[in-house]
Amino acid sequence: MKKRILFVDDEKKILKGIERALDDMQNEWHIEFAASGKEALDILGSKTFDIVITDMRMPGMDGDQLLSEVKERFPRIIRIVLTGTTERDMVLKLVKTGHQYIAKPCNFETLKSKIDSIFTLRDVLESNELREIICGMQIIPSIPEIHTQLIEELESPNASLKNIVKIISQDVGITTKILHLVNSPYFGISRYISSQEEAIKLLGLEVVKALTITAKVFAKYDGTSLPGFSIKKLYGHCISTAGMAKVIAEKEEQEEAVITHSFIAGMLHDLGKLVLAVNFPEKYKKVIDLLESEEIELWQAEKEVFGNTHTEVGAYLMSIWGMTNPIIEAIAFHHCPEKCPHDTFSPLTAVYAGNILENDKNSNGKKEAKRKISLNYLSRLGLADKPAQWAKACKETMKEGSNNE
């Protein structure tokens, strides 16, 4: 069955250009066009679509208003924004209504790649094997209350940093982790930050929101006894991977939104391990035993025991919690980036490399150190010569941080 895509733009010349450029995809995609938000909603009301891709600035109903309506009335449709803005605040505002944004100008090959990756991710998240695992779970973590409160505050017309600090201050554990994170080497701040308000400003609200998820979900299961499985070590690995992903994205001089998404995806990339281990402790013990007895990686052992891995489980969880597509994609493919059709640097690239570098740093000569970054994947992105530079940048960041302590 063909994938169905609706493009929305008030400039008819642009729609014609898209139609011509994507003509070679007509065997795989059914594409329609709308010249306004109202026309788009009329079409969506009468036909089924998989993706809506809209320009941001349109008269009458802009892209943000359109996608808010689509989100409310057609929640299963993937929502994408085409925008010329690179301002951090505007971009982070857009991802509240859109699953992903694509910067303009955007060549059509990049657009095709982006759409391909979205369909690839959707196919992973809607597989029968993953559905069976999710249905068999007794405990699926709910989004933390403090995260919900932050969202409500941010969407309030009277939102203020003072109120955000007040919400976070209710939880001593989150407050401690925010201060610990902002003073970590990965943020390169030369003085100690003790003010919670200043820490939140420096980290950014998107990072703070993601930290509330990571910290609260891990804290919920702290003390749970799972032989061969350390929740504390897993949390440390996630935070360290996030830091390395941030350093790598900065080294590649990525825009602020990509750097932020890389850090957030790093924090969340292994939540699926925790969810699997807590829900299926006996089966996960088999995973750990298999890991000890065979020369395979953890995700491969999970695949053998469960038929799926923590990457898909974590990505599914983030999708139902409303995370943006670049973050979900990074989580879903961080062990097999070749499956993602992107041909440019993305949060997936940063998390994939950061995860390997972090495991290598803590392997102490174990077999995990044998895993190397895939040069096939990086060659496709034109980044085959980068791993040594990234490793050096991460090492220097950690060294500078220890010198400042």
Dump pLDDT digits (tens) for 360-369. Answer: 876 655 544 4
CATH of the domain at 27: 3.40.50.2300
As a whole number of angstroms, the distance between CA 255 and CA 246 comes to 11
Average pLDDT over residues 74-80: 85
Q: Which carries the bigger pLDDT value, residue 152 or residue 379?
A: 379
Same structural domain, 259 and 300: yes
The domain containing residue 138 runs over which residues? 134-404
Our count of domains for the chain comes to: 2
Same structural domain, 164 and 309: yes
CATH of the domain at 195: 1.10.3210.10
349, burial (CB in 10 Å: exposed 0-12, middle 13-18, buried 19+): buried
Using CA atoms, how far residue 374 sits from 163, 174, 241, 387, 390, in Å, is 45, 36, 17, 10, 14
Buried b or exposed e, range 310-327, using 16+ CB within 10 angstroms: bbbbbbbbbbeeebbbbb
As a whole number of angstroms, the distance between CA 371 and CA 361 comes to 12
Same structural domain, 17 and 67: yes
pLDDT at residue 115, as a whole number: 85
Predicted confidence band at 328 (pLDDT cuts at 50, 70, 90)? very high
pLDDT at residue 107, as a whole number: 76
Place of tokens 């749970």: 224
Per-residue three-class SS string for 272-322:
HHHHHHHHCHHHHHHHHHHHHHCCCCHHHHHHHHHCCCHHHHHHHHHHHCC
Average pLDDT, the chain: 86
User: Could you tell me the pTM of the whole model?
Assistant: 0.79
User: Which amino acid is present at 100?
Assistant: Q
Q: Is the dihedral of CA 239, 242, 246, 247 positive or negative?
A: positive
Report how far Cα 132 is from the mean position of its chain's Cα atoms.
Answer: 23
Same structural domain, 99 and 150: no
Backbone angles phi, psi at 110, to 5 degrees: -65, -40
The answer to the question of residue 285 being in a domain is yes
Average pLDDT over residues 241-267: 96
Buried b or exposed e, range 59-91, using 16+ CB within 10 angstroms: eebbbbebbbbbbeeeeebbbbbbbebeeeeeb
Give 174-227 pLDDT, tens digit per residue: 999 999 999 999 998 888 999 999 999 999 999 999 999 999 988 888 767 777
Average pLDDT over residues 351-362: 90
- Whether the CB-CB separation of 154 and 212 falls below 8 Å is answered with no
Same structural domain, 274 and 160: yes
pLDDT at residue 369, as a whole number: 40
- Among the candidates 90, 106, 122, a domain finishes at 106
Same structural domain, 173 and 97: no
pLDDT at residue 105, as a whole number: 67
Of 63, 141, 131, 51, the C-alpha closest to 325 is: 51
For residue 395, the tally of other CB atoms under 10 A from its CB is 14
The answer to the question of residue 119 being in a domain is no
Average pLDDT over residues 390-398: 92
Average pLDDT over residues 244-269: 96
Q: In this structure, which long-range contacts are made by residues 33-36, counting pairs with CB atoms below 8 Å and at least 24 apart in sequence? A: 33/6, 33/7, 33/8, 33/9, 34/6, 34/7, 34/8, 35/8, 35/9, 35/10, 36/8, 36/10, 36/60, 36/61
Average pLDDT over residues 85-110: 64
The answer to the question of residue 253 being in a domain is yes
Find residue 14's DSSP bridge partners: none
The answer to the question of residue 7 being in a domain is yes
**Helices 347-361 and 387-404, packing angle to 10 deg:** 60
